Chains A and B, each alone.
Chain A
Amino acid sequence: SQELEQSPQSLIVQEGKNLTINCTSSKTLYGLYWYKQKYGEGLIFLMMLQKGGEEKSHEKITAKLDEKKQQSSLHITASQPSHAGIYLCGAVLRAQKLVFGQGTRLTINP
């Protein structure tokens, strides 16, 4: 089973709509990372969260780490075609190594 569960696994939204992707762990998260991957390419770092309740934003993307530090959400406002791709959350869960969720494939329909 995945140590980090992402939901949904795929998401199709109309351009301009808001959306949320979740990342859940059964263990306390020490450092939660969000990455974006364009199909068949490497990963691009988006944000890192470390403190419970922390929230960060970059352009139209906002990520939060809940108070108990076991779940994070990524929210995109007014989605655009450039937001399409695979979003992955990564976390340090054990032995200081970063593990990843299975990813959320986001499609934006014009």
Chain B
Amino acid sequence: SQTIHQWPATLVQPVGSPLSLECTVEGTSNPNLYWYRQAAGRGLQLLFYSVGIGQISSEVPQNLSASRPQDRQFILSSKKLLLSDSGFYLCAWSVGRGKATNEKLFFGSGTQLSVL
């Protein structure tokens, strides 16, 4: 069966520090991978998605970047965190068909990031 792991669960970082959140998927090959951010009262905002290794699409301009060094690994990064980067970050995957699809998403347990 497929599983998705996301860590850390919580993170407190000072402004200006770097960030690295990691997400891995097991039990499937070539999944589509997604990073969402959830801010209070604003639902889920799609940040990045990837349909393959090294293929990253960015949805909104921001202080963050994403990378996919391996088929089932998705990393969210920042060189210098801003206060506005605080939020709940969710990684998700769906069955990959070489393009972004409307397949059901499976979510990780999330990372609560507080930038102070």
B109 touches A100 (CB 8 A): no
Query: Which residue of chain A has the shortest Cβ distance to B9 in the bound complex?
Result: A40
In the complex, what distance in Å separates the CA atom of A95 from the CA atom of B106?
Answer: 19
Check if B43 sits within 8 Å of A42, measured CB to CB.
no
Residue A9 CB within 8 A of the other chain: yes
Complex Cα distance, B94 from A92, in Å, reads 13
Please, which residues of chain A bring their CB within 8 A of the CB of B112?
Answer: 40
Number of A-B contacts (CB under 8 A): 61
- With CB as the reference atom, state the residue of chain A lying closest to B10: A40
Given contacts A42-B110, A97-B49, A101-B43, contact A90 B100 (CB under 8 A): no
Contacts of A40 in B (CB 8 A): 88, 110, 112
Question: Does A88 have its Cβ within 8 Å of any Cβ on chain B?
Answer: yes
Knowing that A2-B43, A4-B43, A42-B6 are A-B contacts, what are 7 other residue pairs whose CB atoms are under 8 Å apart, sorted by A's residue number?
Answer: A35-B107, A42-B110, A43-B90, A43-B107, A44-B107, A97-B100, A103-B41
The residues of B with any CB-CB pair to A shorter than 8 Å are 6, 34, 36, 41-46, 49, 59, 88, 90, 92, 99-102, 104-110, 112
